[in-house]
A and B are shown apart, each in its own frame.
Chain A
Amino acid sequence: MPAPLAESSAELVVRASRGDSGAFEDLYRQHVGRVYGLCLRMTGQPESAEDLTQDTFVSAWRSLPGYEGRSSFSTWLHRIAVNAVLAKRRSPQGRNEVSMTDEAGEQMDFEAAAAMDEATPIDVERAIAGLPPGARDIVVLHGIYGYSHDEAAEMLGLAVGTCKAQLHRARHLMRTRMGEEHAT
């Protein structure tokens, strides 16, 4: 990620927190890809991810005065997004929606996000998509977005030990799945 993005976010945040929705739209355009990317990988469902992305930005608009700049704006948005994803999962409506994988890890249909780089195998994206939710969350936060164990644990509301265990399980499942892919 180019560093100058973070700089202009700071100016926009100051203006947006004073009610400037034009500045907030600029922030949206700068950060929507990253927020949607997270929601998409955590839910595996484009429509759900779109709703959650909108929820995230609306919630961010309301909470903007509380943003103290302790973490980067992008990370702050991710925290809000993770909360939104987890809240939806816990809701009765969320539970009724078809989940991408059930807890047994059976993979269902999934359209992976298009790889930007030819060399990046699509099967990694699909392998992640095929993980059960707990394991998938940690791979998305720690593996894809680079948050540390502690950061990811805090965002997911779990103990660090639980996260490490989920990661271990995720690695095992992914290796198996990617091994299967190659085998067929």
Chain B
Amino acid sequence: MNTVPFGPRNPPEDPLLAKAAALPKDVAPSRDLWPGIAARIAKAEVAPARPVLRWPLTLAAALLVASVSALLTWSLVRDPQSATPAVIAAAPVPAGDFVPVSYGPNSGLTAKELAARDELFTQFRGAFETLRPETRDAIVKNLAIMQTAADQIDAALARDPASGMLKGMLVGTYKQELQLYSTVVTSHDGLTRRT
């Protein structure tokens, strides 16, 4: 999220480079290369787990994504009506004075990423109630700050939708939101690393 703007920016001014830019970016190989790839990755070990020490955020997010997949099928996220009552009960609408950060239409965040965030928010909401008033206050204020940031980035993206910098900032804000929930949830009394 911090190293961003990779990808095409403004079109080159030079007519020669403009012609280069018009060339097809996708070229199909003469044969299907997948079987060769599949054979080689089958031999390799399964992708190793992320190192926990350095990236607690991604571990928490990965765990939550895994638990979301277990609770909710992809079709459920698309069509809540198809859920069984038990599953709906597992992801209640958060009551009370605040809701997760809302990212605008230009965010590029997937429904699955938002579902993972919502699931984490539900757990966070429970732990939140047990915190000190000044801590709860600080959290609510900072969620509002994140919401303002998301709104500003979204407005900027509407004007410059190709900006990798802006998209990266938005993903960064989303990750900060996840990190906040994750810290509160994993520090909560009764929820230990061993369970």
A–B: direct contact at CB < 8 Å: yes
Are A37 and B24 interface neighbours, CB within 8 A? yes
The total of chain B residues at the interface (CB under 8 A) is 52
Question: Known contacts being A19-B46, A62-B47, A69-B171, is A143 close to B41, with CB within 8 Å?
Answer: no
The total of chain A residues at the interface (CB under 8 A) is 63
Question: Known contacts being A124-B23, A143-B17, is A7 close to B7, with CB within 8 Å?
Answer: no
* Chain B nearest CB, measured from A169 CB (Å): 13
Residues of B within 8 A of A16 (CB): 47
* Chain A nearest CB, measured from B172 CB (Å): 9
Q: In whole angstroms, how far apart are the Cα atoms of A40 and B66 in the complex?
A: 38
| Dominant secondary structure of chain B at its interface with chain A | loop
Q: In whole angstroms, how far apart are the Cα atoms of A164 and B32 in the complex?
A: 36
Are B1 and A46 interface neighbours, CB within 8 A? no
Q: Which of A17, A49, A54 contacts B36 (CB 8 A)?
A: A54
Residues of B within 8 A of A24 (CB): 41
Question: Known contacts being A72-B6, A75-B7, is A113 close to B16, with CB within 8 Å?
Answer: no
Are A144 and B44 interface neighbours, CB within 8 A? no
* Chain A nearest CB, measured from B98 CB (Å): 26
Are B29 and A49 interface neighbours, CB within 8 A? yes
- A residues 17-70 near B (Cβ < 8 Å) are 17-19, 21, 24-25, 28-29, 32-34, 36-37, 40, 46, 49-50, 53-54, 57-58, 61-62, 64-65, 68-70
| Dominant secondary structure of chain A at its interface with chain B | helix
Are A125 and B46 interface neighbours, CB within 8 A? no
Are B47 and A65 interface neighbours, CB within 8 A? yes
Q: Which of B5, B22, B58, B65 contacts A120 (CB 8 A)?
A: B22
Q: In whole angstroms, how far apart are the Cα atoms of A10 and B1 in the complex?
A: 14
Are A1 and B25 interface neighbours, CB within 8 A? yes
Question: Known contacts being A6-B108, A11-B110, A69-B1, is A62 close to B33, with CB within 8 Å?
Answer: no
Residues of B within 8 A of A34 (CB): 25-26
Question: Known contacts being A50-B29, A171-B14, is A144 close to B47, with CB within 8 Å?
Answer: no
State whether the Cβ of B38 lies closer than 8 Å to any Cβ in chain A: yes
Q: Which of A46, A71, A121 contacts B6 (CB 8 A)?
A: A71
Per-position contact with B for A122-160: 1 when CB-CB < 8 Å, else 0?
Answer: 001100100000000001001111111001000000000
Q: In whole angstroms, how far apart are the Cα atoms of A121 and B38 in the complex?
A: 37
Are B33 and A32 interface neighbours, CB within 8 A? yes
**Additional 6 contacts, C-beta under 8 A, given A57-B37, A113-B27, A144-B21:** A21-B41, A36-B33, A124-B23, A148-B9, A151-B6, A175-B16
